[in-house]
Structure 1
């Protein structure tokens, strides 16, 4: 089958046909499975060659990304950091039939990170700052649940900036000795003004300047997969704009709550913040 696909692609190129208009020829590059809170469960849903419709899948009331790889359907499930270890179920609809599909989440203990901030106003918030932060957290929560159906979703990400990978995902953080939410992203250590690029093709879902995240770009990759690029010095895209993989989104900085210049990069999958490293080939990790 792969040989026939390659031949078909060569014919299309010779005839100057738009190969991208043939989405059924493409196969997803699945992220790495990690059945832990903050990870990704890859749940097989059956063969693509049995004539049945593409499955539809939900975790609770949140739709879940379904893709094909090597003639099989898979649900690619984001597991929230606060998910309880144990057995869980997806709701899977194939044709007119809906049935449960179980998967297991294993426990994981993430390391701790202690950060000292000289600007105490970023830790001990004034009433005005607290009200602003709460409004923004609510707005971002809605963005994370956004769902745009797409024919195909690129799951093979690139690291959005050239730099050393620093603060890892899931760190239990303490700011000036006070416990805060776990680190729900991956930090890339870069100087201010470093180009920040889209991890994959998509559409700009939102841009904004937030109390904690600073200047931020949200990219919607379709089917519940969203990336966030935070603490930017400059934003070069606007809401609704289509972007390609590797396209410049802006320049890194230290806006918002940041101890220094860096890129904070987050990945959201079916509303859950998940480890970005699971989408990156091992050879590209530093």
Structure 2
């Protein structure tokens, strides 16, 4: 039974539960200079760990992100690249996304879809020569690319305080055939001198998979939360220090993320979902607001 539990969990490794970056790949919404005018947003991040929904995508190591996004009024479309360290050994994660961001008074909505591409991938298979014999086998699908739909809402209760929520859904999470549904509530409060505090509380529901002959195996659901403080310089450069946590045990984390170290060592454990503090330096620019064009 442990073998089956591990097999299924390792499927998620190709994503590290974090492959989506719908909530992280999309840059902060910046007001367009004029209604229905074309604009272009671009930027990137330097991170001490690519942590997505509580689980590391970079094996607890540093990661880099770059993105570009074309905007026309409420419409937008873009692409982002993230460096990763995952069991299928892709060069990185490529997110291709698009949707609409209607702004109605103090309410901002964001409705769209995102495709996660990991390339090139190599299926994670062990023979028993490099791992304990009990852990020999096929550990990931051949292709972990998948499509996710999302909806977000944020409301400015006061000029300083924003309350929001988001829902993300995939019918074929990481190519496992299992659904993935994530929902969260979040809040942000602006402090003097361009500081802010923010946090989120979410839950991931994951369905059953039948890959590798494991029939109707349910992938572990889990809770995720984060809280942090940030400082922004001239609406363009942001320093963020954030605590991330989940309720997954190290064994459940291994089964959910597919940490390859848990396979090679035979421990059946992972620290990718444990409590962590992540530092991020972000740069977000907008063509229409550049001083020199």
Q: TM-score range by the shorter chain?
A: under 0.3
Q: TM-score, normalization: structure 1?
A: 0.26
Q: TM-score, normalization: structure 2?
A: 0.26
Report the structure, 1 or 2, having the larger strand content: 2
